[in-house]
Amino acid sequence: MILRKTLSSLVLMLLYGCHLHMAKTVMNGGDLEAALPEPRAYIPDSQNLDFVYHDHEELTRFLRATSARYPNLTALYSIGKSTQGRDLWVMVVSSSPYEHMVGKPDVKYVGNIHGNEPVGREMLLHLIQYFVSSYTTDQYVKWLLDNTRIHILPTMNPDGYAVSKEGTCDGGQGRYNARGFDLNRNFPDYFKQNNKRGQPETDAVKDWISKIQFVLSGSLHGGALVASYPYDNTPNSRICRSSALCAMFQTYSAAPSLTPDDDVFKHLSLVYARNHAKMSRGVACKSATPAFENGITNGAAWYPLTGGMQDYNYVWYGCMEITLEISCCKYPPAYELKKYWEDNQLSLIKFLAEAHRGVQGFVFDPAGMPIERASLKVKGRDVGFQTTKYGEFWRILLPGYYKVEVFAEGYAPREVEFVIVEQHPTLLNVTLQPSKRIEGIGAGGPSYYRPIPAPQHYRPVPPYVASASNDNGIFSTISNGLNSLYSNIFG
């Protein structure tokens, strides 16, 4: 056992360590990414995927055929079934598709969470085909797939899509799942208790992201043209403490709700918007709808919502997720899909590469063995993240000087300083020492002092969480109705 641990330690040290406890700038994928040419223009393979909408059976056939055709680049799995029993397919695209490779971050895209917003669904199918058909000819794609595991869920709401109608730009038909629930209002919420009953689709996604530590994520929607970032919800107003009517009007005031990582979220949103053919212009879809400066917005500043998926990803699991509204029309005619692909292709690819920005590394014990589920928090940023079973961690950060606090049960906590520079991911390996031994305590003789266990996951303290009202009566009904109407119009 001792020999095996020693050998494992040596392997990890040789592969990923330079000097434990120290942050070090390394020349790796970040440098290569900066030097690579832009991804080439997409050339569709008409034998596999055309620019039309694909029903669930056609989508399934395409994914299965792609997995069979590119077994070294793809792996297909289902995270569960929809209310009506349709598989929620996920395609992994990577040079190591079947298993996690130590040191390689996992990222994801989720499409069609609202069934009547299927442009993202089709864009993700074309992204899959672009990746597998370009791996041997496009250096940028090869770098991305060699250094990243990309999980793509083209449709989270296949039941809603089945009853949606092509050419319908507005309205709510098909938006909800088969039980009439809005899936992007069905996740646990940090700011307010979400009493909506959990649905099979959201339960499957929650289970999925609890098992894979995703670093970066994008959720594709329609009905606007903007990249929206957390928080989607906001704490109750300090002024509106007793009136449901006051709370209703507060809901629709443009008040940003900013995360501790607001700089990173704005950067990620700008990466998508600026690589998009139109988004960064900030042009409003309609004269009556808002325009967005640089094509980005804070979610709550646009309109607050409770139970959103991007806030859940971030607060519960430390995954940086943004919401990508990519079509003014929710369900545009199929002949427009090719143009949507041309508009979004570069953004979809460049956004995923941001997983290689910031800090990454390992947390070890003194024997060089990885510590699983160690909790980390960048000082001054009160949303934390954890290590994988291999002791790995990643955090997207912009250039600057940082301190990270590292905790694990049974180990003394540590605080480590490090620096992030542009284009060069920083490798940070941290060794935790076992908690201090104190002799002669208790009837049993020698014992060990254990520091107070770190929480399973750091979550921020909201600036104000007192309840404004019991949300009963006519004013609550009006407020809920306005929220539903606003969502149906704008996404």
- Rounded to whole angstroms, the Cα distance separating 273 from 279 reads 5
Q: Angle 484-489-491 (CA atoms, 0-180°, nearest 5)? A: 85
- In this structure, the number of other CB atoms found within 10 A of the CB of residue 428 comes to 27
Of 488, 482, 471, the residue nearest 116 (C-alpha): 488
Q: What are 220's strand-pairing partners?
A: 111, 324
Task: Establish whether 325 is a catalytic residue.
Answer: yes
Contact 324, 218 (CB under 8 A): yes
Question: Residue for token digits 């442009």?
Answer: 119
Residue 214, token pair as written in the block: 């995703």
Residues 272, 322 contacting (CB under 8 angstroms): yes
- Tokens coding 322: 């943004």
Q: Among residues 222, 224, 221, which one has the least CA distance to residue 286?
A: 224
Selected catalytic residue, list 117, 122, 325, 354: 325
How many C-beta neighbours within 10 Å does residue 32 have? 16
On whether the CB atoms of residues 233 and 306 are closer than 8 A, the answer is yes
> Among residues 393, 414, 412, 416, which one has the least CA distance to residue 403?
416
How far apart CA 280 and CA 298 sit, in angstroms, is 15
* DSSP 8-state secondary structure symbol assigned to residue 411: B
User: Which segments within 258-319 are labelled E, that is strand?
Assistant: 296-298
* Residue at 178: amino acid letter: A
Examine residue 16 and say whether the peptide bond preceding it is cis (omega within 30 degrees of 0).
Answer: no
Alpha-carbon span 161 to 176, nearest angstrom: 9
Q: Please tell me the distance from the alpha carbon of residue 342 to that of residue 278, in angstroms, as a whole number.
A: 11
Dihedral of CA 260/264/269/274: which sign?
positive
Q: Evaluate whether 228 touches 296 at the Cβ level (below 8 Å).
A: yes
The Cα–Cα gap between 196 and 199 comes to 9
Locate tokens 């020999």: which residue?
Answer: 3
Give the active site residues: 325
